[in-house]
Amino acid sequence: MQVYKYDTETGEYLSPVELQKNPKRAGEYLIPPANTTPTRPPNAGENQAAVFDTSLNRWVLTDDYRGREYWLPDGTFQKVENIGEALPKEALDQPPPPSESEKYAALLAQRNDWLTGSDWFVQRHGDELALGMDTTLTAQEYKEIQQWRQALRQLPQQYPDSDSWVWPAVPAVLKGEQ
């Protein structure tokens, strides 16, 4: 004879258990283990699990999306952890595209990183001039860096729509091409 074991916490169907015959009484079986029922669980479909509801003393099919990752339209990442937890109707399989303000903020951050990253070239050139030393950068290289930095600063005014930004070419000296 078979009984069906379920998890003590979630009620989820675990496995069939074959009962042992009682060696002292013919036709009888030993007492079944705890958390079992003689009722066979229903076949669970995709994203379902058979769960034994002890209050109803029967199996029910419930949502089972455990481990499923999804995003909400506001961009927050979620992961289903528990049996019975349904996916929200607005769940997305991939992150939503960034909003205009998010794209704009990312472009400004990139621009600011480039400006900050080139600060030391400008500072070093000014320090070398102030000390009356030969400069590491030629006058033309310094001019190209300053023109590039000014073009970066003007991007938001020239192209307020973040999709239309065209990055100015990085001067060769900043790319290490000499």
Q: Can you give the pLDDT at residue 39? A: 95
* 79-88, long-range: CB < 8 A, 24+ apart: 82/10, 83/10, 83/12, 83/49, 83/51, 84/10, 84/51, 87/63
CA dist., res. 34 & res. 162, Å (int): 63
**DSSP-derived secondary structure letter, 92:** B
Show the tokens assigned to 146. Answer: 């300053």
Direct distance between the N- and C-terminal alpha carbons of the chain, in angstroms, rounded to an integer: 84
Mean pLDDT (the chain) is: 91
Q: Can you give the pLDDT at residue 73? A: 92
Mean pLDDT of 103-129: 93
pLDDT digits (tens, 9 = 90+) for 18-63: 999 988 988 888 888 899 999 999 999 999 999 999 999 999 999 9
Q: How confident is the model at residue 90 (pLDDT cuts 50, 70, 90)?
A: very high
Mean pLDDT of 133-149: 95
Q: Does residue 151 register a pLDDT over 80?
A: yes
